[in-house]
Structure 1
């Protein structure tokens, strides 16, 4: 059994701790989505995804060519050990000032499904 959830969500240190309740809610939600999609059925294929909320992807100055970068997201997947590091930008979402939580969920799902596809897992809805 796991000591922690296989999919984690944290915020960059530049964010206020006031985001902690939202971050925990997002973490529980994405893990529940994975559970509903039977991602944890085969213990040999348990994806570990570590999401970090950041202001912008550009501020992280990603230097390695192993990152996949798209609008508002960046991730680095190590298929051999089922581990993914992912960045979710939120500065552009704050500017639209509506539906921020759902927009973050959409980005979490976007990354999770890209990784799931590589391992023939059911996409999250």
Structure 2
């Protein structure tokens, strides 16, 4: 008799991963400040492009759009996927630097160089 082994589908594995990450964030003191976006690799992104996040209020979704790096504005919200194996980024993140920001509007901060 052959045992039937159920293999989780990709959406099931993705849902499991997101539940696990949500559990980690719930237990961490700073977890409520972190938002995660699950995005597949973007093979069509050119070397001179970056993904910019845009909110579509009618559809109530977050959209990622490729934008030429030279066209990025200070108001754009960049989508920057993190690679856990990127040790240079980890070292940079462990050495934070203070920067003064200006309050623009009710709850938006602007870098002084963007003014």
Q: TM-score, normalization: structure 1?
A: 0.27
Larger radius of gyration: 2
Q: TM-score, normalization: structure 2?
A: 0.29
Higher percent of residues as helix? 1
